[in-house]
């Protein structure tokens, strides 16, 4: 049995991720909880509370996972560009 405040957070987080295509990390920062909590909310609890929304959120998470390596490469590129600028 899920407490009411958790149920509300789960639905709110699910809608947030679906509407903004946010990552688990971004959602965790917005809602002030850990990445593990967000992940459990949207992969486990949401499925029991709102299966239709859970399916939509799962697609967003799968897309984000597939794109993760690209974002990581871009971040590394920016890091070294900034280091080069700071040396000059």
Chain segment 32-69, per-residue pLDDT in tens = 999 999 999 999 999 999 999 999 999 999 999 888 78
Average pLDDT value for the chain: 92
Count of structural domains, the chain: 1
Q: What percent of the chain has pLDDT over 90?
A: 69
Quote the domain boundaries for residue 23: 4-87
User: What pLDDT sits at residue 11?
Assistant: 96
Check residue 22 and give its pLDDT: 95
As a dihedral over the C-alpha atoms of residue 70, residue 72, residue 73, residue 75, rounded to 10 degrees, the angle is: 120
C-alpha to C-alpha distance for 37 and 28, rounded to whole angstroms: 8
Give pTM, 2 decimals.
0.77
Statement: residue 72 has pLDDT above 90: no
């Amino acid at each position: 049995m899920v407490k009411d405040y958790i149920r509300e957070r789960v639905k709110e987080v699910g809608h947030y991720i679906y509407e903004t295509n946010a990552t688990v990390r971004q959602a965790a920062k917005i809602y002030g909880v850990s990445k593990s909590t967000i992940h459990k909310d949207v992969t486990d609890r949401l499925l029991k509370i709102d299966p239709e929304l859970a399916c939509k959120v799962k697609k967003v998470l799968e897309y984000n996972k597939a794109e993760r390596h690209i974002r990581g490469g871009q971040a590394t590129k920016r890091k070294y560009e900034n280091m080069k600028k700071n040396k000059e």
